[in-house]
Amino acid sequence: MKSCAPFTDKICIEEQTTGNYQPRGSLGFMAEALAHDLNNVFAPIMTSMEVLQLKIKDESLLQLLSLIQRQTIQGSCLAQQILSFANGVESSHTCIQPQSLLQALGKYLEKSLPDNIKVNLLIPANLWEVFGSLYDLYQALLDLCMNAARRMAQGGILTIKAENMLVDNENLNFQSNRGNERYVLFSVMDTGPSLTEEQLEDIFSADYVRQANPVVGDFGLFSADIIVKTHGGQIKVSSEIDCGTIFKVYLPAAPGSAIDVAAEKAVPLGHNECIMVVDDEAAILTITRQILEASGYQVITAENGADALSTYMQDYDKIALVIMDMNMPYLNGALAIHALRKMNPGIKIIATSGLHTQSQATRALQAGAESFIPKPLQTYDLLRSIDEALKLDALAV
């Protein structure tokens, strides 16, 4: 693992150069360095696990690989939690395991709700992780549960469950138009009186909440809706006579969540397009090259931003897309992206980083990248992003 001190200098220089410099203490810089370096260590391990899972057929070995993969993801999440602790609000979003979240919620509800309300938890073992504020998401789900409990004054069953889902964003009316995406669906179901169509239409409005709870002034549904939307998700509600009400909370799965690629839709493959991969970690270059070549792409590599510019000048006529690490010596990713855009305004660029903070993603997009993928890179997410960028290029032509 690289030492922290040189990397902290690199971050400081990059932020001043790109106009994003904010004074931070030494703890914040060291946390960034640690999170970055740990994710660069985890990245080739994660991708290697996926390659082996596709090639190995022995069930016992697959279970072992799945265990290693889950532990690697957990290690990456711990790195983000270190970053959150040191840097505060800006990086307060971390990888969250739904099992732990719902188990904590269930324990609280069992102690807090009246004895005539039974709490039923349905939590499968292999839920994808979500990325967000643990406190806010806990509060949003708690608000939905307490709202359900109030409708069961005479008693009933409160069921809370979670499941992995592939969801068509067009059906959810999201701004994203990327087709099927991975979501974790949280369902809060009660056996209380059904709601009318008028109530369902306005149930998340402040006016409805104020009228429904004039004494306590509970704005739980209103705030829960806002919290879920700020996490890139959506709440859908339905109610049937004698069947109670169901609140369905769709939250995007965290990038890097463990998935069974074979169980997903077909992985998009290339058609001999040339991809340039830019990263200062030799292990990441090696495994990314293997993944892309096995997926139908030609691959050229560069070890830093300066090397990337030199390589692109030589092979610009055949490079269709660039995968650019944001934090590198000699010339950082933001400056390299800006320079490549000067050389070819139409070039397709995907940015990556071991620091998955909002400011890091914003910096990449402002520099000119089409999209940002946090490390550890997951094969499915990487190939899908490449496929979408190349398809957009084809449509433009």
Among the residue ranges 70-84, 121-135, 164-178, 203-217, the one predicted with the least confidence is 203-217
Distance, CA of 371 to CA of 365 (rounded, Å): 7
Among the residue ranges 118-122, 213-217, 285-289, the one predicted with the least confidence is 213-217
Short-list 131, 81, 107, CA closest to 257 = 131
Three-class DSSP category at 176: coil
Please tell me which residue, 18 or 374, carries the higher pLDDT value.
Answer: 374
Host H or E run for residue 136:
helix 134-150
| Total residues belonging to the chain | 397
Query: What per-residue confidence (pLDDT) applies to 5?
Result: 35
Query: What per-residue confidence (pLDDT) applies to 161?
Result: 94
Domain shared by 281 and 381, yes or no:
yes
Amino acid in position 104: A
Q: Answer yes or no: is pLDDT of 187 > 80.
A: yes
- Does residue 281 lie within any of the structural domains? yes
The pair of structure tokens assigned to 103 is: 């188990």
- Does residue 102 lie within any of the structural domains? yes
Domain shared by 294 and 357, yes or no:
yes
Domain shared by 172 and 132, yes or no:
yes
CA distances from 222 to 112, 117, 162, 207, 217 (A): 22, 24, 22, 9, 11
Domain shared by 232 and 136, yes or no:
yes
Domain shared by 338 and 359, yes or no:
yes
Please tell me which residue, 162 or 242, carries the higher pLDDT value.
Answer: 162
Q: Answer yes or no: is pLDDT of 176 > 60.
A: no
What is the distance between the terminal CA atoms of the chain, rounded to a whole angstrom? Answer: 44
Amino acid in position 199: Q
In this structure, are residues 247 and 40 in contact, taking their beta carbons and an 8 Å threshold? no
Distance, CA of 44 to CA of 46 (rounded, Å): 5
Confidence of residue 1 (pLDDT cuts 50, 70, 90): very low
Q: Answer yes or no: is pLDDT of 300 > 90.
A: yes
Domain shared by 79 and 166, yes or no:
no
Confidence of residue 353 (pLDDT cuts 50, 70, 90): confident
The pair of structure tokens assigned to 237 is: 């509600």
Q: Is the pTM of this model over 0.75?
A: no
- Domain end, chosen from 219, 252, 285, is at 252
Q: Answer yes or no: is pLDDT of 144 > 80.
A: yes
Distance, CA of 389 to CA of 182 (rounded, Å): 19
pLDDT in tens, 210-248: 555 543 334 468 788 888 888 888 999 888 776 788 999
We report the CATH number of the domain holding residue 113 as: 3.30.565.10
> What backbone torsions phi and psi does residue 103 show, to the nearest 5 degrees?
-65, -40
The mean per-residue pLDDT over the stretch 134-157 comes to 88
Look up residue 182 and give its DSSP letter.
E
Mean pLDDT value across the chain: 76
- Does residue 259 lie within any of the structural domains? no
- Does residue 137 lie within any of the structural domains? yes
Domain shared by 187 and 278, yes or no:
no
Q: Domains in the chain: how many in total?
A: 2
How many beta carbons lie within 10 A of that of residue 385, not counting itself?
22
Query: What per-residue confidence (pLDDT) applies to 3?
Result: 36
- Domain end, chosen from 252, 278, 301, is at 252
Tokens 């009400």 belong to residue: 245
Confidence of residue 10 (pLDDT cuts 50, 70, 90): very low
Q: Answer yes or no: is pLDDT of 38 > 80.
A: no
- Domain end, chosen from 231, 252, 273, is at 252
Confidence of residue 339 (pLDDT cuts 50, 70, 90): very high
Look up residue 368 and give its DSSP letter.
T
CA distances from 276 to 129, 285, 317, 349 (A): 30, 10, 12, 9
Domain shared by 55 and 134, yes or no:
no
Please tell me which residue, 18 or 344, carries the higher pLDDT value.
Answer: 344
Query: What per-residue confidence (pLDDT) applies to 90?
Result: 45
Q: Where are the strands (E) in 36-189, listed by range? A: 94-96, 117-122, 130-132, 156-168, 180-189
Confidence of residue 388 (pLDDT cuts 50, 70, 90): confident
Query: What per-residue confidence (pLDDT) applies to 299?
Result: 96
Look up residue 21 and give its DSSP letter.
-
Query: What per-residue confidence (pLDDT) applies to 262?
Result: 42
Tokens 């979240």 belong to residue: 101
Query: What per-residue confidence (pLDDT) applies to 100?
Result: 83
Distance, CA of 81 to CA of 92 (rounded, Å): 8
Query: What per-residue confidence (pLDDT) applies to 58?
Result: 81
* CB burial readout 131-155, b (16+ within 10 A) else e: bbbbebbbebbbbbbbbbbebbeee
Short-list 273, 229, 251, 261, CA closest to 46 = 261
Domain shared by 105 and 183, yes or no:
yes
- Does residue 257 lie within any of the structural domains? no
- Does residue 258 lie within any of the structural domains? no
Query: What per-residue confidence (pLDDT) applies to 169?
Result: 57
Query: What per-residue confidence (pLDDT) applies to 93?
Result: 64
Range of the domain at 371: 4-90+265-396
The pair of structure tokens assigned to 267 is: 């992985």
We report the CATH number of the domain holding residue 358 as: 3.40.50.2300
Query: What per-residue confidence (pLDDT) applies to 96?
Result: 82
Query: What per-residue confidence (pLDDT) applies to 85?
Result: 55
Short-list 82, 77, 65, 69, CA closest to 29 = 82
* CB burial readout 44-74, b (16+ within 10 A) else e: bbbbbbbeebeeeeeeeeeeebeeebbebbe
Q: Answer yes or no: is pLDDT of 348 > 90.
A: yes
Amino acid in position 255: P
Domain shared by 133 and 195, yes or no:
yes
Domain shared by 226 and 123, yes or no:
yes
Distance, CA of 89 to CA of 376 (rounded, Å): 23
- Does residue 48 lie within any of the structural domains? yes
Confidence of residue 277 (pLDDT cuts 50, 70, 90): very high
- Does residue 101 lie within any of the structural domains? yes
Domain shared by 72 and 199, yes or no:
no
